Chain A
Amino acid sequence: MFDLEVLLVAVGSVLGVGLLLGAGIPLIYALGVRSRESGRPGSNAVSAALMLVCVLLALGGIVVIVFGDAIFGG
């Protein structure tokens, strides 16, 4: 009943995706905030692009996680 391999894969996946999205999205968002606050020319556009990346990553994460099996045939 106890399957260590399955458990380790699950833990690894949770940690990997957690770091990628859970720490990655806040980092990109923070870069966007810093860019906007810097007041340099074009910084607003860079900031908007980074915020958009955050939104797309969050939506992409939901789509892959919720509909991943249907899309990739998992």
Chain B
Amino acid sequence: MELAILVIVVIVALAFDFTNGFHDTANAMAPSVATGALKPKPAVALSASLNLVGAFLSIEVARTVGSGIVDLTGVDGEQLMLIVLCGLTGAIVWNVLTWLFGLPSSSSHALFGGLIGATIAALGLSGVLWGGVSQKILIPALFAPVIAGFVAFIGTWLVHRVTRNISERAEKRSFRWGQIGAASLMSLAHGTNDAQKTMGVIFLALVAHGTIDPDADMPLWVRVTCALAIAAGTYMGGWRVIRTLGKGIVDISPRQGMSADFSSASIILTSSHLGLPLSTTHVASGSVIGSGLARDDVKVRWSVARRMLIAWIITLPAAGAVGAACLLLTNLFDHFWGAVVVTTILVVACTAMWLRSRLDPVGHHNVADDWEAPKGEHKRTIDRELSAVASHIAPISRPRKRKKKRGKNGRKRGK
């Protein structure tokens, strides 16, 4: 039965890796898609290929996942695998839910939150290493978007100063390649950082099962499957999140897109090298906001940014709550059936959310549409809807024009 639980954990971990790629395609490609530097489909194909390559370049982050955040010493193998499974379930549910709402939230925080919640449910508060949580999750969550925003702000400001006299046409033509290069670097950086997190989780499960030694090297099959899963997820393209990050926060220009992507890529590559599991979503979103702030003529939509910030704040507790609830549920069954029940609930929840997303589809065909419909179009839409409602009583084929009121002498009233 222990082997069956291990197989379930590995499959669910790869599913998390898939949702991670799916959710985070936006981090690399949203600016390029939004500015039209790349068409949506080639953009996700390029990003998927580079995520695949990036996954093989570094395993520094994989070594840090789990270590220093939860204390699982003394937990027996099956219980440890259940904690990992429930943590992954919390992370996947949160990832899919935030994708449904088009919110770029952190897959890393969802994963850590799920693991922390499941550990608390299994071992109590003493099972969590709060010092490690502060150092590896909470404080980096605060500084990552700020640093990324600052770097992108400086980069965008400098680029605008240098190229303020070139025409819009020249800007679009000249910065297109810079933007593609920066987005490619960002995809590579994402592969070096995020694919590692799932590798770390599978490694933890393999150690719990006793398949490998804690000091062993990362098995090749783990690296290959994780790289393929994140690349496949990236290729699927989380269009809802791409739309929010590319068009929702700020109407990005090619110069801004390039600066934002270079800022994100340099920060993520450095953090991968240092083994710091930074959230690529926080970095990418911070960069987009920073590049928006660097220009006076561009409006940052703070309402969208505020929704995103709320999602960031509740990611850890929300994924943790789902993880904890799943673990408490598994206690009602034996370990194997507990794992089966949790996995079934996960599949049902994800299917329900996917079906809900079909009611309001966002795909490669409409991902780069304007965020706010022009006022005239918006008014016409409301008029059409009102006409449809009113048609049961008095059919109205087209909206009526309001007659101008005139005074006795034929002039308009008032003025």
Contact = CB atoms under 8 A, between A and B. Distances in A.
A18 B182 CA distance: 13
Q: How many of chain A's residues touch chain B, expressed as a range?
A: 35 or more
Contacts, number: 130
A19 B178 contact: no
B155 to A, nearest CB: 4
Contacts of B154: 19, 23
Nearest to B143: A11
A17 B266 contact: yes
Interface in A5-64: 6-7, 10-11, 13-15, 17-23, 25-27, 29-31, 33-34, 36-37, 54-55, 58, 61-62
Max chain B Cβ within 10 angstroms of own Cβ: one of A20, A30, A61: A30
Contacts of B188: 62
A59 to B, nearest CB: 10
Contact of B273 (A20, A25, A26, A66): A66
Interface stretch (B129-137, B352-360, B370-378): B129-137
Contact of A17 (B57, B139, B185, B270): B270
B269 interface: yes
Contacts of A11: 143, 147
A3 B135 contact: yes
Given A2-B134, A22-B265, A33-B174, 15 more contacts: A2-B131, A7-B135, A13-B270, A14-B274, A15-B151, A18-B147, A18-B270, A23-B154, A23-B158, A25-B182, A26-B258, A29-B178, A37-B170, A62-B188, A65-B273
A54 B179 CA distance: 12
Contacts of A55: 181
Interface of A: 1-3, 6-7, 10-11, 13-15, 17-23, 25-27, 29-31, 33-34, 36-37, 54-55, 58, 61-62, 65-66, 68
A61 B178 CA distance: 16
15 contacts: A1-B131, A18-B151, A19-B151, A22-B151, A22-B152, A22-B155, A22-B265, A23-B154, A27-B162, A30-B255, A33-B170, A34-B162, A58-B181, A65-B58, A66-B269
Contacts of A17: 266-267, 269-270
Contacts of A19: 151, 154
A69 to B, nearest CB: 8
Contacts of B272: 65-66
Q: Is the interface of B mostly helix, strand, loop or mixed?
A: helix
A14 B267 contact: yes
A1 B68 contact: yes
A6 B263 CA distance: 23
Interface in B227-282: 255, 258-259, 262-267, 269-274, 276, 278
A17 B268 CA distance: 10
Nearest to A15: B147
B148 interface: yes
B220 interface: no
A22 B135 contact: no
A31 to B, nearest CB: 6
B192 interface: yes
Interface string B43-64: 0000000000000011000000
Nearest to B56: A66
A23 B155 contact: yes
Contacts of A65: 58, 269-270, 272-273
Contact of A26 (B129, B131, B259, B271): B259
Contact of A66 (B57, B170, B255): B57
Contacts of A2: 131-132, 134-135
B159 interface: yes
Contacts of B264: 22
